[in-house]
Amino acid sequence: MFTEIKKLGKESLVYGLSTVASRMLTFLLLPFYTHYLSPADYGVVAAVFSYIAFFNILSHYGLDQAYMRYYEEREKAFPAAFWGITVVSLIMAVVLCWGSRGFALAAGIGAGRSRLVIYSAVILFADALSAVPFADLRMAHKALRYSLIRFLAVVVNLVLNFWFIAGSGWGLEGIFAANIISSLVTLAVVLWPALPRLKFSLDRPRPFGLRTEDLEAGDKSDARVGEPKGRGKPGRLMGIALAIRHGHRPVFYEMLSFALPLVPAGLGAMAVQVIDRPILLRISGETAVGIYQANYRLGIFMMLVVSMFDQAWRPFFIERAKNPDAKPLFARILTYFVMGSAALVLALSFFMDDLVKIRILGSPLIHPAYWPGLGLVPVVLWGYLFNGLYVNFLAPAVIARKTGYIMAAALFGAAINIAANFLLIPPFGIMGAAWATFAAYFSMAVFMYLSGRGFYSVPYEYKRVAGLLCAAGLCACVIFLKPSMEPGAWLAARLAALGVYSAAVFFLLTCEEKKVLEIFFTRIFPFPRSSEL
């Protein structure tokens, strides 16, 4: 078991190192934006990219994930998925460009910013064409190549942002220009090696038609698909229809049947992540969105953990689903995920205020205009932790091909989020939006867990997981003591809370895990044994 977990950890680390490096570079844009953009302008950027995220789901319509599920038929599935996404995303880009003014008005950013809609359409199209090649790299376990390409895109984006905004003074449009160029560079690099595989075909079933002797015998139930040999015999369309009827559907249609239920699920999941920005824009205005977005992005560290785990987790559980020890393995992975994630959430919640106020070249990391939103960061971090639980609980649904449950969970979370945003933003402002997102992630995790038990029951370590969450939750309550404490006492309280959680983790370890931990520390710190003294 530890060997398999180590392999998952290794792939997560490879994805994670590049993701961490990439996101940390992107994180540099946050203080840059806060010093060069007003909260109102930053709010517009946040709102537009929220809409881009929604349209991204529609342009992919689940085919990238379906390709991963049908990877065994990759020779046919790869070109079918790629061209299927290309056609839909091209139509979408044309529609957005044609009606840019109307879309800008509907989005609440004003008709004067219609060019931002056109820029967004180009970004959407380039990113959509990269989706299947990136999925192919993940399934081929080419984590290093995947990571390097992602890293290259971030570097290009980062450099161009500095150039266009600080150097050329392009303002908002500089952000979109940088994203367009980085998306096109990414597309060129990831697509070039795959070009020989892109034959335009939807994998029609061959040979077409039915054998004449089968029809003459009247045994239509056993009729086989064959090549027509003369006139009067079933043609190509009849061959396709009968092939589908007898279970010989082209791989594109198999992927489509898997993918389409993922579209509402993807839209629901994306609504949980970004719907609060457009709602906040309507209720509280651009400045509130800017402050909210800047502080929400301070949860990047926990988001990185969930993202890097997700990228390695899906191929991992798909490949091991039929193994006899798969279920106990999946259960142990959940325990370790909670164990490490809760520790990170506590550490970041306790010290984020200190981090953002660090002065670099005389200026704080984050401009003081954005500090009023720092209180929402712990809520965002806990939301990401439950999002990670939701990712863990996806395994049973994907393995059993019950993607309808994923759709239901995402839509349920989206409904909770939308309702909570409208309910909580008016009285609580940006804090209400943060709590709405937390409620959505929590609800999705619970929904997915309860659903998965019915068709692929995993023996999760309930006592240990509950103990870890309770210990972390109690330690997190220390943050409420901050207003009444002196700086020295507050530091001591934070360190004590982290120590208490560490003690709880050690208490919940099994004997086998303690032995592994002892061996690990012995290798790092090779203290001499008593017999050697």
- Number of domains the chain contains: 4
Longest dimension (CA), the chain: 95
* 360, containing H or E segment: strand 359-360
Prior bond to 459 cis, omega within 30? Answer: no
Residues 6+ apart with CB under 8 A from 280: 288, 289, 292, 421, 425, 430, 433
* 506, containing H or E segment: helix 487-508
Angle, vertex CA 168, rays to CA 166 and CA 172, nearest 5: 70
Interatomic CA distance for residues 325 and 334, integer angstroms: 15
Q: Which two tokens stand for residue 42?
A: 């930053």
AA letter at 174: G
Closest by CA position to 275, among listed 123, 415, 408, 159:
415
pLDDT, tens digit (0-9, with 9 covering 90-100), for 472-525:
999 999 998 888 888 889 999 999 999 999 999 999 888 887 787 777 667 766
222 and 198 inside one domain: no
Range(s) of the domain holding residue 342? 1-17+265-460
Q: Is residue 260 part of a domain?
A: no
Q: Is residue 92 part of a domain?
A: yes
Rounded to 10 degrees, the C-alpha dihedral 190/191/197/201 comes to: 130
Whether this model's pTM surpasses 0.85: no
416 and 505 inside one domain: no
Tens place of pLDDT per residue across the chain (533 aa): 546 555 555 555 555 555 566 666 667 788 888 888 888 888 888 888 888 888 888 888 888 888 887 777 777 888 888 888 889 999 999 999 998 888 888 887 877 888 899 999 999 999 999 988 888 887 787 777 887 888 888 889 889 998 998 888 788 888 999 999 999 999 999 888 888 777 655 554 444 334 433 333 444 444 444 444 444 444 444 444 444 444 445 777 788 877 887 788 778 878 888 889 999 988 988 899 999 999 998 887 888 888 878 877 877 887 787 888 888 888 999 999 999 999 999 999 999 988 888 888 778 888 888 888 899 999 999 999 999 999 999 888 888 878 778 888 888 999 999 999 999 999 999 999 999 999 999 999 999 999 888 888 888 999 999 999 999 999 999 998 888 888 889 999 999 999 999 999 999 888 887 787 777 667 766 655 444 44
AA letter at 356: V
440 and 486 inside one domain: no
279 and 411 inside one domain: yes
Q: Which two tokens stand for residue 480?
A: 């409420």
223 and 161 inside one domain: no
431 and 451 inside one domain: yes
